[in-house]
Amino acid sequence: MPEYQSTALILASASPRRRELLTGAGYEFEAVCPDIDESSFSAAGIEPVQYAESLALAKAKSIARMYPESLIIGADTIVDSNGMIIGKPDNAEQARQIVQLLFSKPHKVITGLAICRFRDGIEIVTHDSTTVYPKEMTKEQIDEHIKSNSWIDKAGAYAIQENGDEFVERIEGSLTNVMGMPMELLERLLDEFIHNK
């Protein structure tokens, strides 16, 4: 069991998938939704990794100011298609365009990860990247996926934990990273923090 109590660790996220991953790993934590406008972060002229890391840090910092004694985890997941940053679709038509693009060739899923604590100025920012090799989807499969609305609130308009066998041939890297929280990386960072504090 990780050496944290619920008041000591806060996940700056409203994502049920991230909460499930942390709970499944045995962490005790509180989840607080960060109050930031993601649309105000421009992706123009910035590398995908920098974009994901900057959003993760902004989420963590927005909560750290309110809970200065707690260790805050912020995360943001995007898809990198040949340098093009792809986030969550705004509507069904955009979701269709994203799926048609991503499932024609391999793409990367990048999760920016930030850990900070306001009290003592701790600020760690990093990321994980997983390459996804998709299966070719038929028009009928794409139509069915769009109708299902399972693309809503998903970076890249799909969720590997819900449709992995249908959509994905194989991945190189962390599966939990594709799900929204690179648990191997997070656990390593938290272990280092415990041992060095």
| Residue 67 phi, psi (nearest 5) | -130, 70
In whole angstroms, what is the distance from residue 76 CA to residue 91 CA?
20
CA distances from 153 to 10, 16, 25 (A): 22, 11, 23
In whole angstroms, what is the distance from residue 42 CA to residue 44 CA?
5
CA pseudo-torsion sign 58, 60, 63, 65: negative
In whole angstroms, what is the distance from residue 110 CA to residue 79 CA?
6
Q: What is the dihedral of CA 92, 174, 109, 2, to 10 degrees?
A: 80
Q: Which of 76, 143, 165, 191 is catalytic?
A: 76
CB < 8 Å & 24+ apart, contacts of 21-25: 21/176, 21/179, 21/180, 21/181, 21/183, 22/73, 22/181, 22/183, 25/183, 25/187
Q: Is residue 76 among the annotated active site residues?
A: yes
Catalytic residue IDs: 76
